[in-house]
């Protein structure tokens, strides 16, 4: 996890330190520049005073255009005179050394006598002042320095070359004044010290306040992170459980389908024997049964056996559908004939309970591409349901038409007890029934509708249910136009 507090402590501490150092060094630099500027200005003013005191008397001596060496100059009485005047002028001032140059660089006078006679012409600052007439200054630290009143130690010295202008305004010579700026630098150092203390306090306070804010934020983030972590963990566990449950359910469903398929298959063999022998007995193939009751029982056994076989076949079909193993044998089917045949098969049963069953098929209803056995199974299921759930004197219609676009629509409608809206989707699932209707006076496994729906879908169609309790139910099958075969004109057959 990102460690905000540690990151903040480190980076902001570093940043504040860097800012403080930059501020202090900038302040120190600016202050020292200011000191140099001020000392230079003072030196310019002082150079005027020196010029006024020395130049009228010694200008000719300084500017004298003749080769002179140090010893000669030092021996000259003017040197002592200038030295005395200079000493008097600097007493009580910060000036600690004075030099006077001829314009060609000859050191005519220096308060440090050993330097008299030296050539300064190669010094850039001197050359600039002598040629252009502007003052130039240099600032530096000297561990030892020979001042006009004796040797000095550890001093900040500003040395300024200052032009000496004659009455005409032309530069006639150059002064060099050395000023002791140690006291001013010390003042700057003291300022810097106070500034540093102030900055340490201010930044320390700022750092402290920000630290508290960041620590709070860090705590909040950590808490939220841990909550989130917890939540994600819980969700992952729940997801894992769900996946496991789904896996278990799929496994159980597969096991159920396999069991049903296996059992149905195993049951069919003995059942066929039961039906076959019951039939043999009821027809008295091997001789009279004697009491007529035996024939009646044999008939009952055959009927029940057949019913059981139908149920087993349905269970087998459903498990095949669920396993995705149901296949249909497609062929060209005269669907109108199939529907009529189914209606004819159910007509008697309907009439027995006083229900009118009618069939209406559109004239140009086409042939159909599908499995006639499975299609028959669908219609028989739907018609038998309609009969089962329609009271006496009710009506059932089977209506087949062509929809716009060429699709086929087949509707089985009844005027029966209907289905409650909340049961509509449920009863399309295998084994689902609307329970207390007719108090289960009807037979059934709850597989018929589910199977019809699956078989319709295997034909590329859709089964939908519409129902109103007490009014009736309509089951509609819709097949896509591809299932309809283009009717071939029937040619008259001439033999
Ligand atoms: P079964 O008829 O064997 O019970 P089905 O899957 O065919 O199983 O039907 C499921 C349930 O749907 C029926 O038990 C019945 O409650 C309801 N049902 C089906 N068709 C109709 C209908 N035409 N009218 C009223 N209820 C119906």
Each residue's pLDDT tens digit, 295-312: 999 999 999 999 888 888
Q: What is the dihedral of CA 427, 433, 438, 444, to 10 degrees?
A: 110
pLDDT at 375 over 90: yes
pLDDT at 488 over 70: no
Report the nearest-CA residue for atom 23 of ligand 1: 386
pLDDT at 151 over 50: yes
Predicted pLDDT at 307 = 87
**Residue indicated by tokens 């540093």:** 196
Helices 372-388 and 448-458: crossing angle, nearest 10°?
Answer: 150
Q: Where are the beta strands (DSSP E) in 278-355?
A: 331-333
Task: Summarize pLDDT for 454-473 with one digit per residue, the tens.
Answer: 999 999 999 999 999 999 99
Q: Give, for ligand 1, the residue of 412, 422, 444 to mutate: max count of ligand atoms closer than 8 Å to Cβ.
A: 444
Q: How confident is the model at residue 494 (pLDDT cuts 50, 70, 90)?
A: very low
Percentage of the chain modeled with pLDDT above 90: 60
Report the nearest-CA residue for atom 16 of ligand 1: 434
Predicted pLDDT at 487 = 57
| Nearest atom of ligand 1 to the alpha carbon of 447 | 6
Range list of H helices, 353-474: 372-388, 448-458
Task: Summarize pLDDT for 310-366 with one digit per residue, the tens.
Answer: 888 888 888 888 778 788 999 999 999 999 999 999 999 999 999 999 999 998 999
Predicted pLDDT at 353 = 92
Predicted pLDDT at 40 = 77
CA distance 207 to 108: 61
Q: Highest-confidence range of 129-133, 159-163, 417-421, 475-479, by mean pLDDT? A: 475-479
Region 48-63 average pLDDT: 85
- What's the gap in Å between 102 CA and the centre of ligand 1? 132
Helix (H) or strand (E) holding 77: helix 77-90
The answer to whether the pTM exceeds 0.85 is no
**Residue indicated by tokens 């006078």:** 109
Sign of CA dihedral 8, 11, 12, 13: positive
Report the nearest-CA residue for atom 14 of ligand 1: 433
Predicted pLDDT at 55 = 87
Report the nearest-CA residue for atom 11 of ligand 1: 433
- What's the gap in Å between 449 CA and the centre of ligand 1? 7
pLDDT at 292 over 60: yes
| Nearest atom of ligand 1 to the alpha carbon of 444 | 3
pLDDT at 490 over 70: no
HEC sequence for 183-227 = HHHHHHHHHHHHHHHHHHHHHHHHHHHHHHHHHHHHHHHHHHHHH
Contact (CB, 8 A) for 383 and 398: yes
Task: Summarize pLDDT for 171-224 with one digit per residue, the tens.
Answer: 999 999 999 989 988 998 999 999 999 999 999 999 999 889 988 988 998 899
Q: Give, for ligand 1, the residue of 350, 436, 440, 448 to mutate: max count of ligand atoms closer than 8 Å to Cβ.
A: 448
- What's the gap in Å between 462 CA and the centre of ligand 1? 18
Predicted pLDDT at 442 = 58
| C-alpha distances out from residue 473 to 92, 360, 441, Å | 127, 17, 19
**Average pLDDT of the chain?**
89
Contact (CB, 8 A) for 203 and 20: yes
Region 102-106 average pLDDT: 94
CA distance 261 to 265: 6
CA distance 408 to 99: 124
Region 367-386 average pLDDT: 95
Sheet holding 356-361, edge to edge: 356-361, 395-402, 408-414, 472-479, 462-468
Predicted pLDDT at 8 = 83
- Ranking 233-242, 429-438, 456-465 by mean pLDDT, the lowest is 429-438
Contact (CB, 8 A) for 399 and 414: no
- What's the gap in Å between 397 CA and the centre of ligand 1? 17
Contact (CB, 8 A) for 274 and 301: yes
Q: Give, for ligand 1, the residue of 415, 449, 451 to mutate: max count of ligand atoms closer than 8 Å to Cβ.
A: 449
- What's the gap in Å between 384 CA and the centre of ligand 1? 9
| Nearest atom of ligand 1 to the alpha carbon of 418 | 25
Contact (CB, 8 A) for 336 and 361: yes
Predicted pLDDT at 438 = 47
- Strands 107-110 and 95-102, how do they pair? antiparallel
pLDDT at 262 over 60: yes
- What's the gap in Å between 473 CA and the centre of ligand 1? 10
Predicted pLDDT at 65 = 83
Report the nearest-CA residue for atom 8 of ligand 1: 446
CA distance 95 to 79: 19
Half-sphere exposure of 122 (CA within 13 A, CB side): 2
Residues with CB under 6 A from ligand 1: 381, 385-386, 389, 414, 416-419, 427, 433-434, 437, 444-450, 473
Predicted pLDDT at 290 = 85
| Nearest atom of ligand 1 to the alpha carbon of 449 | 6
- Strands 395-402 and 356-361, how do they pair? parallel
CA distance 188 to 153: 19
Q: How confident is the model at residue 56 (pLDDT cuts 50, 70, 90)?
A: confident
- What's the gap in Å between 419 CA and the centre of ligand 1? 9
Q: How confident is the model at residue 368 (pLDDT cuts 50, 70, 90)?
A: very high
Q: How confident is the model at residue 2 (pLDDT cuts 50, 70, 90)?
A: low
- What's the gap in Å between 219 CA and the centre of ligand 1? 63
Half-sphere exposure of 184 (CA within 13 A, CB side): 19
- What's the gap in Å between 70 CA and the centre of ligand 1? 137
Domains of the chain: 4-189 (3.30.450.20), 250-323 (1.10.287), 331-485 (3.30.565.10)
- What's the gap in Å between 375 CA and the centre of ligand 1? 18
| Nearest atom of ligand 1 to the alpha carbon of 435 | 16
Q: Give, for ligand 1, the residue of 433, 437, 447, 474 to mutate: max count of ligand atoms closer than 8 Å to Cβ.
A: 433
- What's the gap in Å between 266 CA and the centre of ligand 1? 28
Predicted pLDDT at 174 = 93
481 or 92, greater pLDDT: 481
Region 420-424 average pLDDT: 90
Helix (H) or strand (E) holding 109: strand 107-110
- What's the gap in Å between 430 CA and the centre of ligand 1? 11
Q: Give, for ligand 1, the residue of 385, 386, 411 to mutate: max count of ligand atoms closer than 8 Å to Cβ.
A: 385
pLDDT at 444 over 80: no
| Nearest atom of ligand 1 to the alpha carbon of 430 | 6
Predicted pLDDT at 435 = 59
Structure tokens at 209: 């306040």
The distance in angstroms from the start CA to the end CA of the chain is: 95
Predicted pLDDT at 493 = 45
- What's the gap in Å between 413 CA and the centre of ligand 1? 13
- What's the gap in Å between 268 CA and the centre of ligand 1? 25
Task: Summarize pLDDT for 110-136 with one digit per residue, the tens.
Answer: 999 999 999 999 999 999 999 988 888
């Amino acid at each position: 996890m990102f460690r905000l507090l540690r990151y903040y402590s480190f980076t902001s501490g570093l940043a504040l330190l860097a800012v403080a150092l930059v501020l202090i060094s900038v302040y120190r630099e600016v202050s020292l520049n200011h000191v140099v500027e001020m000392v230079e200005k003072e030196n310019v003013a002082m150079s005027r005073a020196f010029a006024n005191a020395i130049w009228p008397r010694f200008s000719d001596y300084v500017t004298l255009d003749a080769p002179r060496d140090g010893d000669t100059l030092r021996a000259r009485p003017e040197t002592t005179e200038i030295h005395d005047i200079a000493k008097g002028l600097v007493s009580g001032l910060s000036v600690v050394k004075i030099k006077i140059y001829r314009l060609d660089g000859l050191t005519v006078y220096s308060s440090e006598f050993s330097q008299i006679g030296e050539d300064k012409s190669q010094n850039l600052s001197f050359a600039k002042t002598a040629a252009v007439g502007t003052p130039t200054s240099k600032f530096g630290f000297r561990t030892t320095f020979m001042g006009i009143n004796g040797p000095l130690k550890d001093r900040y010295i500003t040395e300024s070359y200052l032009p000496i202008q004659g009455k005409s305004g032309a530069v006639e010579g150059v002064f060099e004044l050395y000023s002791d700026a140690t006291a001013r630098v010390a003042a700057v150092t003291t300022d810097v010290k106070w500034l540093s203390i102030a900055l340490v306090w201010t930044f320390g306070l700022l750092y402290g306040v920000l630290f508290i804010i960041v620590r709070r934020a860090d705590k909040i983030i950590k808490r939220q992170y841990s909550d989130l972590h917890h939540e994600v963990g819980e969700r992952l566990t729940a997801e894992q459980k769900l996946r496991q449950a789904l896996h278990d359910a799929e496994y159980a469903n597969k096991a159920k389908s396999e069991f049903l398929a296996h059992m149905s298959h195993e049951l069919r063999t003995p059942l066929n024997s039961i039906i076959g022998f019951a039939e043999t007995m009821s027809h008295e193939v091997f001789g009279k049964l004697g009491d007529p009751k035996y024939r009646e029982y044999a008939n009952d056994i055959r009927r029940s056996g057949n019913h059981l076989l139908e149920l087993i076949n349905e269970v087998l079909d459903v498990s095949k559908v669920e396993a995705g193993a149901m296949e249909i044998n497609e062929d060209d089917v005269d669907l109108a004939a199939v529907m009529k045949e189914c209606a004819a098969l159910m007509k008697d049963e309907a009439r027995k309970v006083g229900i009118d069953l009618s069939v209406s098929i559109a004239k140009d209803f086409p042939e159909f591409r599908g499995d006639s056995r499975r299609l028959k199974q669908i219609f028989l299921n739907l018609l038998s349901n309609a009969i089962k759930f329609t009271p006496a004197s009710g009506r059932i219609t089977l209506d087949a038409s062509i929809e716009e676009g060429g699709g086929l629509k087949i509707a089985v409608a009844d005027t029966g007890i209907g289905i409650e809206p909340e049961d509509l989707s449920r009863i399309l699932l295998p084994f689902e029934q609307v329970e207390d209707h007719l108090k289960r006076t009807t037979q059934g496994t709850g597989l018929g509708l589910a199977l019809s729906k699956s078989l319709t879908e295997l034909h590329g169609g859709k089964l939908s249910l519409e129902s109103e309790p007490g009014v009736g139910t309509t089951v509609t099958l819709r097949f896509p136009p591809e299932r309809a075969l283009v009717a071939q004109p029937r040619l008259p057959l001439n033999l």
